[in-house]
Amino acid sequence: MEILITALLVLLLVALIFLGYKLLRFMFKSKGHAMVSLSLCGMVLLIMGINNVFFKKMHFIQSKVYPDLYLVKNPVKDKKELNTAIKEFVIEQANKNNGDTTRPSALKTASNYSLRFYQYHKSWGINLFADAGTAYFLENEEDPSGFVVEELSMYAAYRLARFQWNPCENNSDFYCGELSYYNNGEVSKTEILWNMVAIQPNDLPKQ
């Protein structure tokens, strides 16, 4: 089965190369064709640029298999602005989950509450052995022993932040959070979010 899939992908690649060659020959068949083709390419690039700048908004996508994992799609380039957006999102999620016992990440299990943030990345290559990107983990669990290995640790360069909280040391009635930001797989900054939400009776360890 795997050999058949590989053969089909090879045939598809050959067909695409052939069609691309035919298209290029047609586009540059004459000076007139070349001018029209270059003009159309310029318009497409301009439209794509305008779309990227003005219409693609940053947003957070939650994984369906890992509730604590969020992928940031179309992140802003300014690192400070991106970190601020992640911090605001963390606070929003903490407030949303407070007391909501219908959610698996509710504060009744707050001692284990954490959030992970990675940049959304999807591989568009047709190479059978290419990595699928972080987008793979939106609907799939890690697959360390499959035909194509997919583990989140493979995408350390796309890691943006991690949030973890515990009862505050200076005030045991509240939770404090540690929010670490990453740059190229390394921690670049860590900050403490003080007294975020009040601890509920169900959160306290049983005596």
Give the Cα separation of 4 and 128 in Å (integer): 12
Q: Do residue 74 and residue 95 come from a single domain? A: yes
Q: Is the pLDDT assigned to residue 38 strictly greater than 90?
A: no
Q: Do residue 93 and residue 142 come from a single domain? A: yes
Residue 193 pLDDT: 86
Q: Do residue 46 and residue 31 come from a single domain? A: yes
Q: Can you give the residue range of the structural domain that contains 40?
A: 2-54
Q: Do residue 149 and residue 66 come from a single domain? A: yes
Q: DSSP assignment, residue 180?
A: E
Q: Do residue 156 and residue 117 come from a single domain? A: yes
Q: Do residue 42 and residue 70 come from a single domain? A: no
Q: Do residue 65 and residue 38 come from a single domain? A: no
Residue 45 pLDDT: 65
Confidence of residue 131 (pLDDT cuts 50, 70, 90): confident
Which residue in the block uniquely carries the two structure tokens 């909280």?
Answer: 165
Q: Do residue 126 and residue 139 come from a single domain? A: yes
Q: Do residue 30 and residue 63 come from a single domain? A: no
Residue ending a domain, among 20, 35, 54, is 54
Q: Do residue 99 and residue 139 come from a single domain? A: yes
Question: What would you report as the CA-atom Rg of the chain, rounded to the nearest whole angstrom?
Answer: 24
Residue ending a domain, among 54, 80, 95, is 54
- pLDDT (tens digit per residue) in 173-206: 777 888 999 999 899 999 988 867 665 544 444 4
Q: What is the pTM of this model?
A: 0.65
Q: Do residue 136 and residue 69 come from a single domain? A: yes
Higher pLDDT, 17 or 126: 17
Q: Is the pLDDT assigned to residue 14 strictly greater than 50?
A: yes
Looking at the structure of the chain, the number of domains it has is: 2
Q: Is the pLDDT assigned to residue 61 strictly greater than 80?
A: yes
Q: Do residue 83 and residue 121 come from a single domain? A: yes
Three-state SS across 64-126? CCCCCEEEEECCCCCHHHHHHHHHHHHHHHHHHHCCCCCCCCCHHHHHHCEEEEEECCCCCCC
